[in-house]
Chains A and B, each alone.
Chain A
Amino acid sequence: MRALGAITRLRRRLRPVATLMLTAVVLAGVPAERGDGQDLVADLSQHLVAITTGFTGTEVLLFGAVERPADGGSPGEVAVVVRGPSTPVTMRRKSRVAGIWMNTASMTFERVPSFYAVAASAPLSQIATPQVRQRNGIGVDALDISLPPAKASPNVAQEWRDALIRAKQRNGLYTASVRPVVFLGARLFRTEVYFPANVPTGSYQVETYLLRDGQVVSAQTTPLIVSKVGVEATLTRFASEHAAVYGLVAIIVALLAGWGGYALFRKA
């Protein structure tokens, strides 16, 4: 009954995704009729990253096509930005107190993407102006995670921000380098987005930008769900919704295992 419920829930979640996929297919089929408004189409190989028992990280393929401009010039460059759900994050700074390193300062960022990855067909500084990168958050250094001015002076705020990005990169949740977007011929492009085993769950946004002369000429947003499924999902939900029962079950399992070990080896 519970499994059935989970499937229904999943279906409901995926319905907008399916609609979007359908739209993408239709659009890809008839790009010429759409005119100037649609010179970029992109989609993912899967819209659900399922975290199962054997999950060790996964790659999701992003593929798409760009339309040549009317004047027959270069189709432009493509940048892809993947963002996890935003959460508040508290950073702490250690300092030495009586010979021991302890946390002595802390700073809370209100909205920090739990995951961030970027891929591009050329170095970011060459394909987009600093303003464009800042506005769209293309590149880790252009991410909009700043402390309110009331909390810290600009250079102190910058230190905290750099530290946050360093910490996220250590955990593998922010890309340390820009991954390549590869063009296959003049129109088709592809890139792989890697999600590590510790990827946070939630609704992700995958933004694909088509850039010409440093400006965004077209953009598309595709949703992606990262979710625990099967036993993992059941356990996590159970642990938070029925915490007391979960705790009791954990104790009973431990008691049985201990007794089992005793009984087994007493006979041997």
Chain B
Amino acid sequence: MQIYLPIAELSLDVFLLLGLGGVIGFLSGLFGVGGGFLMTPLLIFIGVPPPVAVATQANNVVASSISGVLAHFRRGNVDVKMGTVLLVGGLAGSTAGVSLFQLLSAIGQIDLVINLSYVFVLGTVGVLMTWEGVAAFLRTSRKLPARKLHQHNWAHGLPFKMRFHRSRLYMSALLPLGLGFGVGVLSAIMGVGGGFVLVPAMIYLLGMPTSVVIGTSLFQIIFVAANVTFLQAVQNQTVDVVLALMLLLGGVVGAQYGSRLGSRLPGETLRILLGVLVIGVALRLLYELVSVPADVYSIGVGA
């Protein structure tokens, strides 16, 4: 059964979209990430124009994050103060990102930048995550003592120190602001929530306790993704609500089953699996960049 998507201006199979939403939702529930980094390339792959895929996926991230953050709020795992500082950076970053997106579309380099960002970010995160997972796996099997909470480094010498009670941190506000800004730009250009970048950065860069990391990152992602959706809708008119709704229906259901399975698997196994998945996506996109294209000519998006 086909459904016509009014903004993407093409028709796709309803069950393909529901299934896609379901599978990505399942993975995002399993690994505790938004899943945008898988969904956006897949949407482009099935024929959705890249600007529509990125903008619509941002809208989807809003839905999957709110579902997750509510559960974390109930358990008190959200550091609202840290989230707000990240958010201020995130709003500025995503606003700049949407304008950058428009500029890159106009000069015909948006596809390249989307692909390069994916290869670079996913490659780095994937390798780090797999490495961490393997290291943790070896550590538990050898019963070595765990590292201390966080190391002190150059970042702790920066000004504008703030106290974050829930994260048990006393640090410069510039660090979360900058982190939020960077992830905001990525969010606008790649159509991702940025959880897979934010979560490791919060753990290793900010030194936040793991228990509050996911809730806090989801908290700020909701607002950043909402900002991206709004700006893409206003500036580029590329948000397809019909497409978003199809993906949402599948995604909401899939996420619930994913998180159930996720709670039964050990953390290191999950991290290694996710790392391998992320590296796979990065390699696939890298191949697209370096292999000889079928036709070197193409019709430009956003003439």
Contacts and interface: CB of A to CB of B under 8 A. Distances in A.
Tell whether A pairs with B.
yes
Interface of A: 51-57, 87-95, 99-103, 106, 108, 160, 163-164, 166-168, 170-171, 197-198, 200, 228, 231-233, 235-236, 239-240, 243-244, 246-251, 253-255, 257-262, 264-266
B298 A259 contact: no
Q: At the interface, is chain A mostly helix, strand, loop or mixed?
A: helix
A89 to B, nearest CB: 6
A235 B9 contact: no
Given A53-B4, A254-B244, A92 B300 contact: yes
Interface string B2-15: 11101101110000
Q: Which of A56, A164, A200, A249 has the most CB of B within 10 A?
A: A56
B230 interface: yes
Contacts of A200: 9
A253 B241 contact: yes
B229 A92 contact: no
A95 B296 contact: yes
B295 A90 contact: no
Contacts of B60: 254
Contacts of A101: 289-293, 296
8 contacts: A88-B303, A91-B298, A94-B293, A94-B298, A106-B108, A232-B4, A239-B7, A251-B59
A68 B115 CA distance: 61
B66 A166 contact: no
B158 interface: no
Contacts of A56: 2, 4, 11
A257 B253 CA distance: 11
Contact of B2 (A54, A240, A248, A257): A54
Q: Which of B111, B226, B249 has the most CB of A within 10 A?
A: B226
Contact of B59 (A100, A166, A240, A254): A254
